Structure 1
Amino acid sequence: MSAGESSGDRHGAAVAREILRKLPGARLFGIGGREMEAAGVSRLAGLDELSVMGGTEVLRRLPGFLRLERRIRRLFTTEDVRLFLPIDYPGLNLRLARAARRQGRGVLYYIAPQVWAWREGRARKLRRDCDRVLTVLPFEAALLERYGVRTEFVGHPLLDETRAPRSGAAARAAAGRRPSGARRVVGLFPGSRAQEVRCMLPVFAEAARRLARRHRDLDFIIARPPHLPEALYAEAGFPTTGAREATERSWAALTKSGTITLELALAGVPMVVGYRMSRVEWAIGRRLVRVPSIVLVNLVAEAPVVPELLQDRLTAARAAEAIEGLLAEEAPARRDMLRGFDVVRERLGEPGCAARVARHAIQLLAEPDSEDPPGAAC
């Protein structure tokens, strides 16, 4: 199993638990974080070794990446690996999938690379190197099938972690977050990679200070993934907590793009999305990206539910102003956004994603072209 980010670690842990529940003899090992390790995956490398953002950071750490990749490739030759289960993180995982395929190993790709956003050539690699590709966004399967990829939409793993009822879930979740007269919490979600935090957090923190001067009843918390050091957040001047707790406590949020936007939407937390990268990377990205929004909430809803402040538009003043429009319980922008979140919730499928992924894994382990019974490593 191979996950390169915090969300992949969490989703991979859920799958690992389901595999071991249904197939107690399986041996799981690979790349992941603390949650996968706690779920029974023997770690060969941790998320801190993979936590990078942007081309310059990748180049600086390239020798370490290459050593790790060579180590994993050798395992496909020396160990009785029956199945490789990559989880998102396509930069590394697509190359490992190719190596696994060349060694005759099964490949089950979970959380498909976002070929609909850019680099559609990855779809051809998925067709060539994967037995099956499991998607978590409703529109991905049809796109991949056009490229001949054997694929299935398995629902989104976040639904397994959400207890809110289906109808009006977002609105009720948000309404129950702040008792009358209580202080409101604004969550800051600057990312799970160190370079993302260095880039986004200064702007997010300054926006929070501007809001604090105008609204004395606001508190602020920063979501910090466990693999990043507390010292990285010291200059911001606000307390940190885990992403789950920050989501549960937040009345509104200022966040980077990514899966966290879906987590906030399912929890009923109105948000503003901000993102910034180097000017070179931004110039390249603008030429490659082929979708109208970088926010998953907007893509799933097929509507501009959440405002996005990108690159030069991400300033503390604009972010504070946008968040301010979401603070009042009856604010039109807040109510419209919560209605949009309910649309997103309906389109993400049904709970049970991890169990469905485990079922696919066990089916591949049991396919008749293999001489050994299920129970080997994945």
Structure 2
Amino acid sequence: MKPPTGSCAPPTSRHVREILFVVGEASGDLHAGKVAEALRTLAPELAMVGVGGGHMRTAGVEIIEDVENLAVMGFAEVVRHIPKHFALLGRLRERIHSGRVALVVLLDYPGFNLKVAEVAKKAGVPVLYYITPQVWAWGAGRLPKLARIVTKAASILPFEEGLLRRHGVDATFVGHPLLDRAQALPTPTAARAALGLPADGPILAVFPGSRRAELARHLTPFMETASLLQARIPDLHVVVSVAPTVRISAADCPFPRVHGASFNVLRAATAGLLKSGTTTLEAAVAGLPHVIGYRTSAITYAIARRVVKIPHIGLVNVVAHREVSREFVQDAFQARQVADALMPLLDVQSAERAKAEAGLSEVRGMLGTPGASVRVATMIRDLVAANTV
């Protein structure tokens, strides 16, 4: 029997076998690609389409919009991309209502993905949210909405499952996906050899960011800090990690640049200067003491100060619920002060370094066990089976 006019039910039967992934930036593409690889093994009969990039494409996902066209950050930056996002949402709405989609899998990117989840809810299509919105930092008012529109949530930070469940979200902690990439870390000696770095002496790893907007604000002060340290420590080597999503020219960076291979850089280094975010958790897994620097636009920072409800911005500190790595945010990022904080971390005999290493080890133990991608792929398979008649 046909659904009545105006019904939100999909127009075709639930024997549809298409999984729709939606990510909004390069990290989401990486994690979705790993899930897609696992799903291809667990349920090869499922077709996969999505908004994503190269990792998802390699894993067999048909890309309907490239993530490079979407990645923005900060409140001010998002406003300029509203028309593009609105057009994409219309295309996704049409696809979800077509009846082809058995399950929508969302990764992070909550400003857009919560709207996609609403569309799926109205269409009667289940939603799995992997890497859930950071409601513990800001926007706690979104929790009732999450409970209403998300079928299942897969959280990657240890404290998220309890928080989400207390507010009615069916959530499961699956472990952090970066652990899947860190199961066979090189020794510091092997990492230095792979990067062509000297076996002895201090090395500073610099991670200025993976987005153009981050580089525009971070690169100059990060380079200034590294130059100050090199003046103080003549035998210091500096290595700058360049994310696959950005380019750093030799004119803007007087130090050797390494493309990709982030764990090699982290393992080779003695200490690190990192922008906030997942890189700080990668450093925890690699055991690299570091400090965190971050700058954003004045408008974004002013808004963030009003809405963000946690004392730290570095994920390593958020997970630890205390400052394991010192943070220098916005105007507090002054090259001389940051260099002062890094000096004891570059000394392998210092008490400050030993304290940092102990804190990072604690954080690593809190991130769960490897296998997050397979756990999420299993959830996908089971949700599709439960919603197929």
Distance 1:17 1:347, change over 3 A: same
Work out whether residues 305 and 340 of structure 1, in 8 Å CA contact, stay in contact via their aligned partners in 2: yes
Residue of structure 2 equivalent to 1:111: 131
CA distance in 2, matches of 1:185, 1:40: 39
TM-score (norm 2): 0.88
Residue of structure 1 equivalent to 2:313: 294
CA distance in 2, matches of 1:97, 1:260: 28
Residue of structure 1 equivalent to 2:88: 68
Query: Which residues in structure 2 correspond to 1:209-220 (within 5 Å)?
Result: 209-220=227-238
Residue of structure 2 equivalent to 1:375: none
CA distance in 2, matches of 1:186, 1:45: 37
| Unpaired stretches in structure 1, ≥5 consecutive residues | 166-171, 372-378
- Counterpart of 2:106, as a letter, is P
| Identity between Structure 1 and Structure 2 (%) | 39
Work out whether residues 183 and 370 of structure 2, in 8 Å CA contact, stay in contact via their aligned partners in 1: no
Work out whether residues 28 and 107 of structure 2, in 8 Å CA contact, stay in contact via their aligned partners in 1: yes
Q: Does 1:241 align with 2:259?
A: yes
Distance 1:68 1:301, change over 3 A: same
Q: Does 1:321 align with 2:340?
A: yes
Q: Does 1:267 align with 2:306?
A: no
CA distance in 2, matches of 1:339, 1:178: 23
CA distance in 2, matches of 1:24, 1:33: 20
Residue of structure 1 equivalent to 2:358: 339
CA distance in 1, matches of 2:280, 2:370: 18
Work out whether residues 111 and 134 of structure 1, in 8 Å CA contact, stay in contact via their aligned partners in 2: yes
Work out whether residues 131 and 156 of structure 2, in 8 Å CA contact, stay in contact via their aligned partners in 1: yes
Residue of structure 1 equivalent to 2:225: 207
Work out whether residues 208 and 215 of structure 2, in 8 Å CA contact, stay in contact via their aligned partners in 1: yes
- Secondary structure of 2:303's partner? helix
- 1:106-161 deviations in Å (ceiling 9; x for gaps): 10000111101110122122111111111111111111112111111111111112
Distance 1:44 1:229, change over 3 A: farther
- Counterpart of 1:90, as a letter, is P
- 1:70-105 deviations in Å (ceiling 9; x for gaps): 222221123511011011111111111111111111
Runs of 4 or more consecutive aligned structure 1 residues displaced over 4 Å after TM superposition:
172-181
- Secondary structure of 2:345's partner? coil
Greater relative contact order, per chain length (Cα 8 Å cut-off, separation 6+): 1
Q: Does 1:188 align with 2:199?
A: no
CA distance in 2, matches of 1:59, 1:191: 21
Residue of structure 2 equivalent to 1:169: none
CA distance in 2, matches of 1:56, 1:105: 32
Q: Does 1:134 align with 2:134?
A: no
CA distance in 1, matches of 2:263, 2:24: 19
Q: Does 1:6 align with 2:23?
A: no
TM-score (norm 1): 0.90
Residue of structure 2 equivalent to 1:198: 216
Work out whether residues 108 and 132 of structure 1, in 8 Å CA contact, stay in contact via their aligned partners in 2: yes
Give 1:6 shift.
2.4
Which of the pair has more CA radius of gyration? 2
CA distance in 2, matches of 1:44, 1:222: 33
Give 1:216 shift.
2.4
- Secondary structure of 2:231's partner? helix
Q: Does 1:18 align with 2:35?
A: no
Work out whether residues 174 and 268 of structure 1, in 8 Å CA contact, stay in contact via their aligned partners in 2: no
Query: Which residues in structure 2 correspond to 1:149-164 (within 5 Å)?
Result: 149-163=169-183
Distance 1:79 1:225, change over 3 A: farther
Give 1:257 shift.
0.9
Distance 1:175 1:292, change over 3 A: farther
**C-alpha RMSD of matched pairs (Å):** 2.1
CA distance in 2, matches of 1:50, 1:332: 44
Give 1:30 shift.
0.8
Tell me which of 250, 259, 270 is aligned to 2:269: 250
